[in-house]
Structures are given as structure tokens and as C-alpha cells.
Amino acid sequence: MRRAFFLSAVMLLCLSGVVSAQVTHQKKENFEGVRISNVELKHVDGMMHITMSMEFGSKNIHTDYATIYTPMLYNGDANIELQSVGVFGRNHYYSTLRREHHHITAIPDEWCLRRRDLPARVNYVAEVEYEPWMNGAALVVVEQYYGCNDELLALGEVVIDEYTEPMIVSTYIFVLPEEVVSGVHHASSSAQVDFPVNKAVIDPNFNGNSREIAILDKSLDSLSADKNVVVTRIVVRGSTSPEGGHAFNDELAHARANALVAHISQHYNIPSGVLATYYDTDHWADVRTWVAQSDIANRQEILNLIDSHSTSVNLNAMIMERYPEQYQLLLDEYYPSLRNASYDVEYDVTEYEDIDRIVAVAVTAPMSLTADELTMAASKVDQSTPEFDNIIMAIVAKTPDSASANLNAANVMMRRGELQRAARHLAKAGTSAEADYARALYALHMGSYDEAKHLLKRVESKIGCAAKILDKIEQAGY
């Protein structure tokens, strides 16, 4: 016989002002046969902790049936399932065990209840990495009722709680100079593709080639699109590891360089006279440096052998014959880094007529500008727009070690909700008051209110809005 469940609508209590993020509820709507209480959601140090009590009564469970209870956080299209709890009739339990894929293996032993275990109480605990969409999310329990052969007979759910963090509006502070002087700037970019041993065909799926090719193609497309860029020099180098013969390595280095030149030519019409091609086949100075810095056995003997030969002919074979274990380390750990073709381009970016022109180019093709020009454009663009965010990220791509560029990028990532990327930029944001203020905002995002208060108190005399945020944290009871 089929059992019918219905979706229970739960009236949630709306608190005036700021809603606490750690409210424990004693009574909730329940399914027949299970009572849920003491629900608590906490956001602490980047993790969402969920606890509740689930009391299962001794209702008669048909031996062929099972009920799975799955807590779930959802907010609009975003959702995440948590660990399930199951109640099984005897026959369903054993028939399920015989299947290759079944409910029971996905449920902890202590939460896999059989009819004979009832009544029972489960102290439910779950922990997931916090994501910004969880602010305002509902916590529901989904009930799935199964019959023979895992046929889903009925489905229902109840909302048992919601999670709302204090409404603390973050004001992000971007560090931009008031004025940047534009002019003709010299710039450059580079990329490198790797090759398997004895190969000269570019494989996008080999090592990190997909990322390097994307960088290369984006750079070339920008050069082609911007008429204010003048390419002054393109250098392509083909390289081999030293285990092959001299003639073979020379031919292989040429082939690798030519493969990269052919790829460049598909995206960019190389101006006459700017292309220089080199072939690196003798890397023994580099090999010596690697050996000297390593802790391999017979290190000094291998160094002496390299130093005693003015020519590299047969040197690889001698190392392989006399020190086979150490040679294998060279072959596995260092030689692969020498099998590549690299690209370097140098170009001049001519001065634009006025700031409006710079802003227009920054919005449509930010990577074609210098960091100074991008910074000038950023100071003129609305900071609430996606165009501003793109300019900021272009600046940090061009100046990855700049403290101010990383600070600005961290602010962009935080307001986008990309907290892991924000953390990487904050690590390079320096020690200014603005950087500590940004770290305080990051701590708020992570639910680390004590750390946020500590940082805000440190900078409140220098950052005007820090005191206001401190007041809101105190009002929220943190």
C-alpha cells in the first residue's frame, strides 16, 4: 500500500534588527515517527556546523520497507546534501546489502537503524565548508520512503531551520593613486610548452600546456587586436634534454621551435625582422647546477666528471654507466624540464590621446594596456561595475607581486564570494592599514568574529568605516 506524504509549510520566526547566526530551536515540524529538536547551525572559521536531535519512535515499520532522512541546505539554485539517516525493515535491510550500490554503505553504522533498534535517538552532526550562498539558506529534512526493489513510494520534506548572518554591509577600500602619468611603455610576455621525450608536436593535454597555450593565445590575440601596440622582438627557443646524440638533439630542438613558431603564426602575423629563433641542446651547466643543489649519492663524483669534460660528447653515457641510480633520478626529475619550446615577446604600447581613450580600451581589452594605464583607468571607472573588477584583475596579472594590486584583487574576490582566491591575494597584500582592514572583512566572511574585531580595532583610527563595522558586530552579539 502506498503512503502519501505532504510538504509541510513551516512558519519561521522573523526577528527584528540583526538575526543571530547561532539560534537553537527546541520545537519544529516533524514527520510521522521522528521528532527533530535542538537544531543549531554555526559558521565558524570557514566551516558550517549543523547539529540536531532526531528521535525515532517505535512505529510499526513493514519488513520490506525503508525510510531515508537526508538533511539538506538550499538557497535558490544552490544546495548541498548532508549525511543521511536510515530506518530499515528487516527484509529491506538484507536485500539491500546484496546489491552492489545501496543506501546502507552511505550511512554511518550508528545512523543505520533497523526496526529492532527503535525507539532510538540520533545526535546528528555534520560539517561542510562554508560558502556565501549559505547565508539565508534553509535547512530541510527530505524523507524518502522505499518499498521492495528500492522503489520510491513517497517523498516529502519539512523545513526545520534557516541560517541568517548579521546584516553587516562591507565597504571595500581600493587603493588607487590619484594620478598616473601615461606615455610610451615597453612591455613583454612569455609562455612555454613542454614536449614528451623525443617528440616535437605540441600536445595541449601534456603537463601544463593547456594553461600555457591559453596565456600565449590570449597575449597574441591582444597584440593583433590593438593597433597601438608595436612588437619589437619575438624570441622562440627550442630545447632538448642531453640524453640523445648531438645531431638528433639539434634536429629535435629545431623541430620544437618550428612547432611553436607555427602555432604563433596561426594567431598573429609575425612582422618581418622581429623573430629570432634559438636552439638549446647543451644544458650541462644547468645539469651541474641541479646536481650541486641536490642531495643525491655520489654527487661530488658526478660534479667532478662534468667538470673534467670540456665537451659534452659521451658525458651523458658516462654518467649512465658509472652512476645508473643517480642517472635515473636525472632522467625522471630534471631532464623533463629541458624538453620544451619557449616564447618571449617584447612590444611598445604607444601613448593614448586622452584618459577617455584609455578607459575605453581598458574596458574592452585590458591586457593590451600597461599596469600604469590600467590603474589610471580604474580610478575613473565605477567601482561597482564588472568592468572595474576586470581592470583590477588585469592589473594584478601584470604586477603579481604588487601589494596594492593584490589588495585590490582580494577586495574584488571577496565581494564576488570567491574566498579562496581572496585569501591568496591577501597573503601578498602587505601590512598597510587598508590591508589589515581587508583581512578583517575576510574574517567576517569566514565567521571569525574575534579575529575581525581584533583587526578592526587595530585600524579604526586610520580607516573611518572600521568603527562602524565594529559597532554592528557588537550589536549582533559577537
Do 359 and 257 share a structural domain?
Answer: no
Map residue 203 onto helix, strand or coil.
coil
Do 117 and 155 share a structural domain?
Answer: yes
The owner of cell 624570441 is 235
Do 108 and 207 share a structural domain?
Answer: no
Tell me the sheet residues that pair with 78. Answer: 75
Helix (H) or strand (E) holding 69: strand 66-75
The three grid cell numbers given for residue 158, joined into one nine-digit string: 519539512
Looking at residue 410, which CATH number applies to its domain? 1.25.40.10
CB of 336 closer than 8 Å to CB of 194: yes
Taking CA atoms, 391 is separated from 375, 434, 473, in Å, by: 8, 20, 32
Burial class of residue 95, CB neighbours in 10 A (0-12, 13-18, 19+): middle
Map residue 110 onto helix, strand or coil.
helix
Do 338 and 224 share a structural domain?
Answer: yes
Q: What's the number of CA atoms in the CB half-sphere (13 Å) around residue 403?
A: 9
Integer Cα distance of 194 and 206 in angstroms = 7
Domain-embedded: residue 189: yes
Domain-embedded: residue 53: yes
CB of 387 closer than 8 Å to CB of 381: yes
Beta strands per DSSP E along 4-46: 34-44
Do 146 and 82 share a structural domain?
Answer: yes
In degrees rounded to 5, what are phi and psi of residue 79?
-160, 160
Domain-embedded: residue 170: no
Do 282 and 340 share a structural domain?
Answer: yes
Do 147 and 38 share a structural domain?
Answer: yes
Map residue 45 onto helix, strand or coil.
coil
Tell me the sheet residues that pair with 343. Answer: 191, 236
Looking at residue 236, which CATH number applies to its domain? 3.30.1330.60
Domain-embedded: residue 133: yes
Domain-embedded: residue 11: no
Domain-embedded: residue 27: no
Do 275 and 204 share a structural domain?
Answer: yes
CA nearest 368: which of 265, 218, 266?
Answer: 218
Map residue 341 onto helix, strand or coil.
strand
Looking at residue 69, which CATH number applies to its domain? 2.60.40
CA nearest 262: which of 238, 240, 286?
Answer: 238
pLDDT digit string (tens) for the chain, length 478 residues: 222 223 232 222 222 222 223 333 333 455 677 889 999 998 877 789 999 999 998 766 788 899 999 999 999 888 999 999 999 988 888 888 877 666 787 888 889 898 888 899 999 999 998 887 888 899 999 999 898 878 888 888 889 898 887 666 678 999 986 554 455 667 788 889 999 999 999 999 998 899 899 988 888 888 887 777 888 899 999 999 988 888 899 999 999 999 999 999 988 888 888 999 999 888 888 999 999 999 999 999 999 998 887 566 688 889 999 999 999 999 999 999 999 999 999 888 765 556 777 788 888 888 878 888 888 888 888 898 988 999 999 999 989 999 999 999 999 999 888 888 999 999 999 999 999 999 999 988 887 888 989 999 999 899 888 888 888 888 766 7
Tell me the sheet residues that pair with 37. Answer: 53
Map residue 265 onto helix, strand or coil.
helix
Domain span at residue 266?
185-346
In degrees rounded to 5, what are phi and psi of residue 154?
-155, 155
Domain-embedded: residue 28: no
Integer Cα distance of 375 and 359 in angstroms = 10
The count of structural domains within the chain is 3
Q: Which of 346, 367, 390 is the last residue of a domain?
A: 346
Do 208 and 132 share a structural domain?
Answer: no
Q: Which of 346, 366, 401 is the last residue of a domain?
A: 346
Q: What's the number of CA atoms in the CB half-sphere (13 Å) around residue 62?
A: 11
Integer Cα distance of 143 and 87 in angstroms = 11
Integer Cα distance of 77 and 4 in angstroms = 27
Domain-embedded: residue 287: yes
Beta strands per DSSP E along 76-134: 78-81, 85-88, 112-114, 120-129
Cβ atoms within 10 A of the Cβ of 78, count?
12
Q: Which of 130, 162, 194 is the last residue of a domain?
A: 162
Do 55 and 135 share a structural domain?
Answer: yes
- Residue 344 backbone zone (phi > 0: left; psi -120 to 50: alpha; other: beta): beta
Do 288 and 231 share a structural domain?
Answer: yes
Do 340 and 359 share a structural domain?
Answer: no
